[in-house]
Amino acid sequence: MDRIIIFDTTLRDGEQAAGGMLNVDEKLEIARQLEKLGVDVIEAGFPVSSPGDFEAVKTIASAIRQPVICALSHANPKAIDSAWEAVRAAENPRIHVFLSASEIHLSYQLKKTRDEILGLARDMVARAKSYLDDVEFSPMDASRTDPSFLHTIIEAVIEAGATTVNIPDTVGYAIPDEFGSLIEGIVTNVPNAHKAIISVHCHNDLGLAVANSLEALRRGARQVECTINGIGERAGNASLEEIVMALKTRKDLLNLETGIDTRQIYKTSRLVSELTGFVVQPNKAIVGANAFRHQSGIHQDGIIKKAITYEIMDPREVGVPASSLVLGKLSGRHAFKERLAELGYTLGDEDLDRTFQAFKELADKKKEVTDRDIETLVAQEMHAISETFHLDQVQVSCGMNTLASAAVRLIDSEGRVLTDAAVGTGPVDAVYKVINRIVSVPNKLTEFTVNSVTEGIDAVGEVLIRIESDGVSYTGRGADTDIIMASAKAYMNAVNRLLASRGKKTE
């Protein structure tokens, strides 16, 4: 079989999704999990875009040793120099240069001629090549570029030293057969195409990113650029988990393989969802909550008799847990630790103590604690941040034809107790008004989402919120069997993130 290079751009294109924001520590945590997953290339960020992105790429380049660490760069000297400084400590560094190629972009955005673009592409690839051997080039908006000019620019950049040429369907415009023909045309008509890896990067504006990527691989591409959960600009990117499992499930047809440890897929999906705040839709292929659930009686009958009747993949292949161990309030620390290990979590003593305490508190409220409950607890405790204000007590009063009111007690980082009360349009609004009055940090609530982690009257409710301050978005999550408490925890999580960010800027 031919080996496909998996190029993950969750930390670069994925973070460009509206509302997405990750700090350096969160990016490093995702990068470590991507290394466990077995991706070949991690596009760690866009160093010249901001000091924070530069620091994130530099940190990842120093810490992650197995995959290639790639930095994106404009086609200009400053950006390329910045990219090199960010990745130079990597075991396997790469610079990825991009430049628009379509007539639409040249005419309306760059105001440059084809000859100018050709010369710039050649010169900037050569500049990147002067720093390192592994250089990638992307002619942006390739799917809307005149094929003859596309062939010319590809030939030129390979001659200048590009070792990978990526063909982006930047706006998700292509149809599979059309995109496959474009790739086949490059392989056939570019004289030196054999000297470089042909890559593809597809967007999902028409819902065809995965289909276009698979067709491109079938027609000669050997690297595919994708993201966990398909997150990214606008409608997102090609989903890594869908591409990988399509190649694995249909190897009889495609005869292609990857180096991905598929049992790490589910855990990676959950981590990215937790840290970015982007909830995975229930019917999402491979990693959605309903991906391996069967409600139809006919389907259930078939699954009981033989799983392959209605399941083309074993859920355990992607790391979806299938637990036979039931945990409850009488379960001990050892049983809890064993269950965590089965779910793929290895916690240090301090994190284990904190998570076990949260588990015991939840078990007092629920008869049985499910795997999803445990995953939510681990995410909540592992991604807790240094608290400027700790939520100590919440009391609400509400009902039909009565005013909704809330009293909240917070404890600040110096141990001072701060208490206040307020009236709101509902209990959650009242709680948020009290918190805002105490912390005195102007912000605007831009998103509020409630999800049930599991089924039943005692289900854990998970609340995701986003607040905005000074044009920057901050995500908060909270989970509890009491949805008001979950809402309060989520809001405090977001506010503490805001305050922590401001503290770092002040320092």
Q: CA-CA distance, 91 to 173, in Å (whole number)?
A: 36
- Which residues neighbour 385 within 8 Å (Cβ) at sequence distance 6 or greater? 493, 496, 497, 500
Q: What is the pLDDT of residue 23?
A: 86
Cα(46)–Cα(86) distance, integer angstroms: 9
pLDDT at 324: 44
The pLDDT, as a whole number, for residue 322 is: 59
Residue environment code for 183-221, b if the CB has 16+ CB neighbours within 10 A, otherwise e: bbbbeeebeebeebbbbbbbbbbeebbbbbbbbbbbbbb
Contact 323, 375 (CB under 8 A): no
Residue appearing with tokens 């007690």: 409
Indicate the pTM of the whole model: 0.82
pLDDT of residue 272: 94
> What pLDDT is recorded for position 295?
58
Q: Determine how β-strand 444-452 pairs with β-strand 461-469.
A: antiparallel
pLDDT of residue 185: 98
Using alpha carbons, select from 179, 181, 135 the residue that is nearest to residue 159.
Answer: 135
- Length of the chain equals 507
Name the residue type at position 334: H
Q: Contact, 221 vs 183, CB < 8 A? A: yes
State the burial class of residue 111 (Cβ atoms within 10 Å of its Cβ: 0-12, 13-18, 19+): exposed
Per-residue pLDDT of the chain (507 residues; tens, 9 = 90+): 699 999 999 999 998 887 777 889 899 999 999 999 999 999 999 999 999 999 999 999 999 999 999 999 999 999 999 999 999 999 999 999 999 999 999 999 888 999 999 999 999 999 999 999 999 999 999 999 999 999 999 999 999 999 999 999 999 999 999 999 999 999 999 999 999 999 999 999 999 999 999 999 999 999 999 999 999 999 999 999 999 999 999 999 999 999 999 999 999 999 999 888 888 988 999 998 788 776 566 665 675 677 778 788 888 899 886 544 557 777 788 878 877 877 777 788 888 888 888 888 888 877 777 777 887 777 777 666 678 999 999 999 998 888 999 999 999 988 999 999 999 999 999 999 999 999 999 999 998 988 877 777 778 888 988 899 988 888 888 888 899 999 999 999 899 988 887 775 544
Rg of the chain over CA atoms, in angstroms?
A: 25
Helix axes 240-249, 265-276, angle to 10 degrees: 170
